[in-house]
């Protein structure tokens, strides 16, 4: 475990947005034991603690973070069990997510191929139930090993303990549990699961429900993500973002009916859920509220490729970014009566 306490490093250098003020202290942990030791130290001292890995789903305020920032840099992928064609694979929290996905495709393990190209570390994926192109990590997570700061012990959570929902889990919006590793139950199969997303099916030239090779699924997903500026590229300012800034709103039947009353000229894209709820396209709402791709406010902008991504090409502040987010949120609410919620974690700032 290394401690960079002599300087106050800028958190902007550790986030994909390139925004955020200084850290009070920066500590790097390369193993689960080091993560636990640092968390225990902070708990004993009462010092504020921020966990940071890939920095791809976090917005840090301009004042930075006054306490210790723990950089999680543990790594490792291990097959820990096999039963027939099912394979259990344990991944360290700090292991880069897309490196893991790439390895599963190479090894012929099906289950996360449609989650290719997502930046960040594996330990962050259960926190917000990361998903894309018809797959969510909750579909394959077998267990999550955590350190419980309240109980002072390491625990293993089964999927039902995690309370997974759309872009949400028990771990989100709390610092009680620190993810140490995640175990996935994958399938030894050279083909993907049934293609469950219309856009991906079109890119692959197949029907929804068809299966394709793992490699073809991965390449198609990467192509779609690149086209939306969702694969990190230092030469593309549209990738200086946290991916989708807003989640798709989930509306009750009554709220959805009210939305349709306000959109008599066109029906918003929506997907039905349990108990009559409807998940509505946030991108559609944003565009119909008057915010087009490339919409700029000072040094920040909506991506020129993807309406849900707010980008910081450079020279701006977190205040600038949140002012743009607020303008979009309020504009959508005024037009449609729907309140958009941010997807990334906001640290020492608010929207």
Decide: 146 and 178 in contact? Cβ < 8 Å.
yes
Taking each helix axis as running N to C, give the angle between helix 318-336 and helix 253-262, from 0 to 180 degrees, rounded to the nearest 10.
80
* Helix-then-strand count for the chain, H and E: 8, 20
Decide: 195 and 201 in contact? Cβ < 8 Å.
yes
Decide: 295 and 301 in contact? Cβ < 8 Å.
yes
Burial class of 267 by CB neighbour count within 10 A (0 to 12, 13 to 18, 19+) = exposed
Cα 94 from Cα 120, distance rounded (Å): 9
Cα 269 from Cα 289, distance rounded (Å): 15
Task: State the catalytic residues.
Answer: 167, 244, 343
């Amino acid at each position: 475990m290394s401690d960079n306490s002599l300087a106050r490093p800028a958190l902007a250098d550790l986030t994909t947005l390139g925004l955020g003020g200084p850290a009070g202290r920066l500590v790097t942990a390369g193993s689960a034991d080091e993560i636990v030791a640092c968390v225990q130290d902070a708990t004993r001292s009462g010092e504020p603690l921020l966990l940071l890995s890939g920095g791809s789903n976090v917005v840090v305020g301009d004042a930075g973070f006054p306490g210790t920032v723990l950089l999680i840099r543990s790594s490792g992928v291990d097959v820990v069990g096999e039963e027939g064609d099912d394979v259990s694979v344990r991944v360290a929290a700090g292991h880069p997510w897309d490196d893991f996905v790439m390895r599963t495709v190479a090894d012929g393990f099906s289950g996360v191929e449609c989650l290719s190209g997502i930046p960040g570390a594996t330990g962050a994926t259960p926190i917000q139930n990361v998903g894309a192109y018809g797959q969510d990590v909750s579909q394959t997570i077998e267990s999550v090993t955590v350190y419980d700061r309240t109980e002072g012990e390491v625990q293993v959570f089964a999927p039902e303990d995690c309370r997974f929902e759309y872009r949400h889990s028990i771990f989100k919006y709390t610092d009680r549990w620190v993810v140490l590793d995640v175990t996935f139950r994958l399938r030894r199969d050279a083909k993907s699961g049934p293609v469950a997303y219309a856009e991906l099916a079109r890119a692959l030239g197949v029907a929804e429900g068809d299966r394709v090779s793992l490699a073809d699924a991965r390449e198609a997903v990467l192509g779609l993500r690149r086209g939306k500026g969702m694969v990190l590229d230092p030469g593309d300012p549209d990738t200086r973002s946290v991916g989708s800034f807003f989640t798709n709103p989930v509306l009750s039947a009554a709220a959805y009916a009210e939305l349709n009353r306000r959109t008599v000229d066109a029906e918003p894209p929506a997907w039905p859920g349990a108990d009559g709820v409807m998940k509505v396209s946030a991108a559609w709402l944003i565009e119909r509220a008057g915010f087009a791709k490339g919409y700029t406010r000072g040094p920040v902008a909506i991506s020129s490729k993807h309406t849900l991504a707010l980008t910081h090409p450079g020279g701006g502040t977190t205040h600038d970014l949140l002012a743009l987010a607020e303008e979009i949120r309020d504009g959508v609410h005024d037009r449609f009566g729907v309140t958009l919620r941010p997807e990334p974690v906001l640290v020492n700032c608010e929207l």
